[in-house]
Structure 1
Amino acid sequence: MESTKSTEAVDKEGKNIGIISYITLIGLIIAFVMNNDKKSEFASYHIRQSLGLGVTGLALGIIGMIPVVGWIINIIAIFVLLYMWVVGILNASKSKMKPVPILGEKYAEWFENVG
């Protein structure tokens, strides 16, 4: 279920909010507040994707507290999460409403009421 919007269909403000949402937790909060006034479907989509990445990072932090096995899982998963983040920010910058790899479709489902 991939939906891709063309570049001209996405307004510049929505695109900027989408990109901002991927820049740290503070960027996510700023994007959420900016999108509250004028709801942009594109920005909301990327806010949900970014929120999913943040929650996944938090879960990895908790797993990383487990000695040895947790550390190994954490090291590998952090690189996967970094890859997912880069793909997400590239999708936002290219005006694509495309889920991040691996868990992106789940993020859209789990956080459908956010944004």
Structure 2
Amino acid sequence: MNEQTIEEGKSTAIISYLTIFGTIIAFFLNNDKKNEFAFFHIRQALGLWLTFFVLGYVISAFDNWFITFGFWLFFGVLFIYGFINALAGKPQSVPILGDLFQKLFSSLGNK
């Protein structure tokens, strides 16, 4: 990825971390441009949001404040990490789950 590709896709990458609707909007904004940097962060954000909703449903069954707090803290850190990398123009995966998201959603953004 060159510097021009990163600069062109930076705003779309940032949008992708702003709620699940931001991820969907970023996908459609980038569908014509096919910017590699933006698609990298769209895959990260989509994976984070889907995992957040699925695990959130499971975690809600425990009805324990400590588990819920740990869940929110874990995903808060991952979202902030991804958002900061998008702001900085770094195509860096989020810890623990990022590489898995890149493999799972690899068909997203292929030309």
Matched, 1:27 2:44: no
* Deviation at residue 11 of structure 1 after TM alignment: 4.2
Count of matched residue pairs: 109
- Aligned runs of 1:30-109 on 2, under 5 Å? 30-68=25-63, 72-109=66-103
Q: 1:62 to 1:55 in 2, by over 3 A?
A: same
TM-score, normalised to structure 2's length? Answer: 0.87
Structure 2: give runs of 5+ residues left out of the alignment. none
RMSD: 1.7
User: Does 1 or 2 have the higher relative contact order (CA < 8 Å, sep 6+)?
Assistant: 1
Structure 1: give runs of 5+ residues left out of the alignment. none
Residues in 1 aligned to 2:93 and 2:11: alpha-carbon distance in whole angstroms: 17
* Deviation at residue 26 of structure 1 after TM alignment: 1.4
Residues in 1 aligned to 2:63 and 2:6: alpha-carbon distance in whole angstroms: 47
* Deviation at residue 52 of structure 1 after TM alignment: 0.7
Structure 1 segments (4+ residues) deviating >2 Å = 8-13, 71-75
2:13 alignment counterpart = 18
* Deviation at residue 101 of structure 1 after TM alignment: 1.2
2:104 alignment counterpart = 110
The aligned amino acid for 2:18 is I
